[in-house]
Amino acid sequence: MMTSGDRVARVRLSSVRLPLDAPVSDAKVLTGRQRPMTEIAFLFAEIVSEQGHEGMGFAYSKRAGGPGQYAHAKEIANDLVGEDPNDIARLWDKLCWAGASVGRSGLAVQAIAALDLALWDMKARRAALPLAKLLGAHRDSVRCYNTSGGFLHTPVEQALENATAALERGIGGVKIKVGQPDTRADLARVRAVREHLGDHVPLMVDANQQWDRPTAARMGRALEEHGLVWIEEPLDAYDHAGHAALAAALDTPIATGEMLTSVAEHAELIRARGADVLQPDAPRIGGITPFLRLAALAGHERLQLAPHFAMEVHLHLAAAYPLEPWVEHFEWLEPLFEERMEIRDGRMLVPERPGLGLTLSERAAGWTAERFETP
């Protein structure tokens, strides 16, 4: 096999715990299925080649699973040493088969995601190109909407202030959480935000999988008057038939996909026509390599794309998608990096820095619980 002449020299892994400013609650907390979120666990991978090229990537877990991702990555990281770092698709398959006995989705591929992102970051840095340009960008900026200001632990009055602040910052749309046990409270919340924003501002809602089919149908009809961009995760993430029925019955688009953890799971959702807006998460499905496979499937079906969370990565991937996408604004990850995403006129600008354009901050080092380096 022809090689570039370069080889992976070593891999460094870090387990990082990012504390949140305040406990965060969505509908899963209000229905008693989860506890409020107080931190996010990150798995960082830094890869260095024999020729001195470097790349950095990460995966993450909310509430549980972070130590498992880190442990799995430690087991497979040495399989990259000595390999040509440019052969990313082949290396993804190699890492996947190394841990295939525990599956080819979920935690097993999420550990691979950090390594895969690092390899793509290195490849784009080596080419002196932003990742979006390496992939083939369709645009230099992407529509963005804010989610972090509209969680259910936030009183309605504060959510309205947060929405105003997001728009003043240049963010283009606002998403708020719904899915409370009392659906009347949800309707009042959406009505208050819509009246506050006016009809011209893009507004989305997210039920975080907490409605059953009858409730989702009733709520979907009741919400039609508000001209929502989409209703997100109205049903269990794996209820593809239920999502498809809603998508067929409502004028408001149905968005889902963030909780799926492989390309195969997304393919089933697409086959069932369960989403008008697909919301894959690159770290959750195994990295950029599988995301590109999924984006090809979604593009073939002419689906809208709105990747979940991790705007620092998804901005590049959304910019390379042929149809006009959305990217989700969360400021939560900002303390981990030296750089900031630039937002203007409702859009997030693709950075001109090579690769992902990210550098780990000194604060991230302070939140590091464990480190590992290949021999």
User: What Å distances lie between residue 69 and 114, 289, 367, CA to CA?
Assistant: 9, 18, 17
CB 326 within 8 A of CB 145: yes
CA 321/CA 299 separation, integer angstroms: 8
The b-or-e profile of 238-258 (16+ CB within 10 A means b, else e) is bbbebbbbbbeebebbbbbbb
Is 62 catalytic? The answer is no
Considering 177, 243, 266, 314, which one is annotated as catalytic? 177
Q: What is the Cα Rg of the chain in Å?
A: 20
Output the six-digit token pair for 103: 């599956």
Residue 224 CA, chain-centre distance (Å), reads: 27
Tokens 């992976």 label which residue? Answer: 8
Q: State the catalytic residue, choosing from 308, 314, 316, 329.
A: 308
* Angle of CA points 194, 348, 224, to nearest 5°: 25
Residue 82: strand, helix, or coil = coil
Give yes or no for a contact between 92 and 112, defined as CB atoms under 8 angstroms apart.
yes
State the Cα–Cα distance between residues 335 and 169, nearest whole angstrom.
18
Say how far residue 153 (Cα) sits from the centre of its chain.
21
Q: How far is CA 168 from the centre of its chain?
A: 24
The 8-class DSSP code of residue 155 comes to -
User: Could you tell me which of 81, 89, 107, 85 has the C-alpha nearest to residue 262?
Assistant: 107
314 is catalytic: no
Q: Which residues are catalytic?
A: 177, 308
